[in-house]
Structure 1
Amino acid sequence: MYSVMVIDDSPFIVDVFVTMLERGGYRAIAAYSGEEGLEILKTMTPDLILLDIMMEPMDGWETLENIKINPATREIPVLMLTAKQLTPDEAEGYGSYIEDYILKPITHRELYEAIERVLQRREVIRNDVERAQQVGLDRHLVDEYARLAKGVDVNTRLLRILETTYNIKDSKASEKISLAIKNMENSIRFQEGRLKQIKEDIEALQQKQIQ
């Protein structure tokens, strides 16, 4: 059974998501503030964290940074679960830290699908990394592959959210937002190209071993 921590400063919201998680077969862990969440993480390691952004006094982004700078917790997948619209600056600044950005309200099915998508992606990347290590791929390339495999998926999802939130064809969309979205598109294309190169290196090493 996977364990999922919910961090939100609204007791009502926490209780709602704890009920949803338990109904879906997950073991739920409740934290009613960023500070409490970090304190709980000193004694247990959940498989995944659902983290709200608009909290006080420590908001979700600050909580996220604390999770990710700690070697003991930085590998825990974090899904931002919030009613706050994503901004281009947040997508650029925190995209490498998070696994997904989910807008509330959310249905049971959408929540379960989001969690399973993250857990399955982590498993696929873990298996790919093991395969890359077995064929003798350079350690730095293995690390880069793992980072890119996750990054392309997450950033593509964040880009879709931004495109939905800010219609860049609309004259009301600011030039800064339009430029940020286009830069993100270019960054994803570069990451996809690099990821393809590393995959080809892995395939070439496999073929060499077979021969």
Structure 2
Amino acid sequence: MEDTILIVDDSPYIVDGLVALLKRKGFTPIATHGGDEALVVLKTMKPDLILLDIMMEPMDGWETLDQIKANPETKGLPVLMFSAKKITPEEAQEHCLNIEDFVSKPVNPSQLLDAIKRIFERRKDVKAEAGVAKESGMDAGLIDEYSALRKSIEVDKNLLAVLKNSSGMQIPGREVHSDDLASIKKLEDKIVTDEQRLREINENFPKAG
């Protein structure tokens, strides 16, 4: 395994820890200490995954993500966000299409590695399935929609769990803000709609193997 992972965090302590962890697991980590430095590195190399912190200065993770996705040369790179900051419903809604997953700090090594594994496996499976569908003559638009749904449903489910946890709704007697409840309900409805659409496409979608 020699997948390259670009680490973007303005904390040298966090970066050093992640570099050591990823090296032990067979990855090739590339360390950067902020959004500006990461964008410079991305001009000369394209990693297999970007591990991007949200709380950074002067350019935070969301700003960095926007610049990565605005650049045609880097917009297709998968990004795994992580942060000690509680993600807001607004952030989840605005950025969910541009990320592959979200992991909370302090980073649990097994949780992080599981997320990385899921991302690589999902992208590999979707690429294989899309190739088979293309060879079968399936409409390119449906193939793209299928691939996008496979990712978005998984990301949305993870973000939903994060939002529910940060809202405190699992705590008995805890009063949850109406805006948070509305955002959670909206995301739940989106997941249901997307899963229904995925099933519709899946009925005629040829599978690899």
Q: Fold match, TM over 0.5? A: yes
- Alignment pair present for 1:22 and 2:60: no
Question: What are the within-5 Å matches in structure 2 for residues 3-152 of structure 1?
Answer: 3-152=4-153
TM-score, normalization: structure 1? 0.92
Match of 2:205 among 194, 202, 205: 202
SS in 1 for 2:199: helix
SS in 1 for 2:185: helix
Q: CA RMSD in A?
A: 1.4
* Paired amino acid for 1:12: Y
- Alignment pair present for 1:184 and 2:181: no
Alignment partners' CA distance in 2, 1:171 and 1:19:
40
Alignment partners' CA distance in 2, 1:202 and 1:21:
36
Match of 1:162 in 2: 163
SS in 1 for 2:118: helix
Alignment partners' CA distance in 1, 2:43 and 2:177:
43
Alignment partners' CA distance in 2, 1:108 and 1:191:
31
**Which ranges of structure 1 fall in alignment gaps of 5 or more residues?**
207-211
In the alignment of these two chains, the number of paired residues is 204
Cα deviation for residue 93 of structure 1 reads 0.5
Alignment partners' CA distance in 2, 1:95 and 1:108:
23
Cα deviation for residue 88 of structure 1 reads 0.7
* Paired amino acid for 1:88: P
Match of 1:175 in 2: 178
TM-score, normalization: structure 2? 0.93
**Which ranges of structure 2 fall in alignment gaps of 5 or more residues?**
none
Alignment partners' CA distance in 2, 1:107 and 1:167:
21
Superposed CA offset, 1:49-98 (max 9, x none): 11011111110000001111111111111111111111111110000111
Alignment partners' CA distance in 2, 1:168 and 1:200:
36
Match of 1:209 in 2: none
Cα deviation for residue 171 of structure 1 reads 5.1
SS in 2 for 1:55: coil
Superposed CA offset, 1:164-191 (max 9, x none): 2214475521111101100110011000
Alignment partners' CA distance in 1, 2:112 and 2:141:
34
* Paired amino acid for 2:181: S
Is contact 2:103-2:111 (8 Å) kept? no
Alignment partners' CA distance in 1, 2:103 and 2:192:
23
Is contact 2:6-2:32 (8 Å) kept? yes
Superposed CA offset, 1:98-122 (max 9, x none): 1111011223322221111110011
